[in-house]
Structure 1
Amino acid sequence: MMSTLPLADLVDLFLRFLMLSLLSIGGAMSTAPEMHRFLVAERGWLDDAEFTTAIALAQAAPGPNVLFVPVLGFQVAGVVGAAAALVGILLPSTLLSLGVSRWGAQRRDAPVVRAFTAGLAPVSVGLVFATGWLLSLPFIAAPDHRLGALALIAATMAVTLKTRLAPIWMIVVGATAGALGGV
């Protein structure tokens, strides 16, 4: 659906990703449900398939987890959209992370710093779980793919929890299952 957006919409895209940057505890992927709500449900700039495909494409590519953000922006508004989304998601969190990490390193043994660090772990897990759920819904909702998708999700969770196998191998299995029509 790549199209040129009016300047006001580009600014809105930038500001939305700027705000999401400050909520992206655990990485940009943790804000994917809100990105989906904004880009698909609220604005209609992308559909479910385009959104999911952008994330799958970016996750399959080598590099940082945040690669899906410029792909989403590109799908919405080309190169300018990719830049708006990427700068928006990176700028505040980068500046905040630098400041907080310097402050926290100097006070790492303080009870408030230790409590804050321990409290962020379950928040990160919950946000990543919500993202996984959102990305699985189109497959679970399709009757032809429901059992295969649920089996693949269950197997991935079991392997992740029980082994130290690199995630790339689970991606390869999932891609193979999809290519063979299993999911």
Structure 2
Amino acid sequence: MNALPLADLADLLGRLLVLSLLSIGGAMATAPELHRYLVDGRGWLDDATFSSAVALAQAAPGPNVLFVPLLGYQLAGLTGAFATLAGILLPSTLLSLSIGRWARAHRHTAGARAFTAGLAPVAIGLLLATGWLIARPYLANAGQRVGTLALIAITLGILLKTRVAPIWLLMLGALAGLLGLA
């Protein structure tokens, strides 16, 4: 864990307040831009640390937004965790409540239907970009990580073709890791 100076923590909070308003599809949709800022731009984290936080949040029970305070904790301990969680949740929550109220009041209008129809493709694109961002460090040494690639393919196949609960796949992945297969 780094000791991020207060000015940098305030900068991170400001960035998250803005990103929160763009989190169509959930906080995970902000991961590519957060990666650009924290890893590529500021150099505060490396690819592996960032990807590990995202993967841990995906595997843990509860909302995927947990990756944001995990990153904040890596940067500034509990203060960083609380600041980043507030930054990612507060604006989007207020905006969602406002838009939800507007959408209910105007749900039968063409404008409201067009608004929601336009959000879906953007959310899908943001989530696909997040998936790529998480996968990239694991794919970097693909020749040395045949087990990892196989586990990714098997997981994807099972999720697309069956109704197996993801928890079983997470346990399979943990077992594969413990056995040195991934």
TM-score calculated relative to the size of structure 1 = 0.91
2:44 alignment partner AA: W
Quick one: percent identity of the two aligned structures? 64
Cα deviations by residue, 1:45-79 (Å, 9 ceiling, x for unpaired):
11112112212222222111111110100001111
- For residue 160 of structure 1, give the secondary structure of its aligned residue in structure 2: helix
Unaligned 5+ runs, structure 2: none
**Are the counterparts in 2 of residues 40 and 47 from structure 1 also a CA contact under 8 Å?**
yes
Q: Root-mean-square deviation (CA), in Å?
A: 1.6
Query: Aligned pair 1:70/2:84, yes or no?
Result: no
Cα deviations by residue, 1:95-126 (Å, 9 ceiling, x for unpaired):
00000001101111111111221222221111
Change in Cα spacing, 1:92 to 1:153, as seen in structure 2 (3 Å) is: same
CA–CA distance in structure 1, aligned partners of residues 24 and 164 of structure 2: 24
* Equivalences for residues 68-147 of structure 1 within 5 A: 68-142=67-141, 143-145=143-145, 147=146
Question: Could you tell me how far 1:149 is from its partner in structure 2?
Answer: 3.1
Unaligned 5+ runs, structure 1: none
CA–CA distance in structure 1, aligned partners of residues 86 and 34 of structure 2: 15
**Are the counterparts in 2 of residues 25 and 124 from structure 1 also a CA contact under 8 Å?**
yes
CA–CA distance in structure 2, aligned partners of residues 120 and 182 of structure 1: 39
CA–CA distance in structure 2, aligned partners of residues 56 and 129 of structure 1: 15
**Are the counterparts in 2 of residues 70 and 82 from structure 1 also a CA contact under 8 Å?**
yes
Tell which deviates more after alignment, 55-64 or 97-106: 55-64
Change in Cα spacing, 1:82 to 1:43, as seen in structure 2 (3 Å) is: same
1:137 alignment partner AA: R
* Equivalences for residues 142-153 of structure 1 within 5 A: 142=141, 143-145=143-145, 147-153=146-152
Give the number of aligned pairs. Answer: 181
CA–CA distance in structure 2, aligned partners of residues 172 and 131 of structure 1: 22
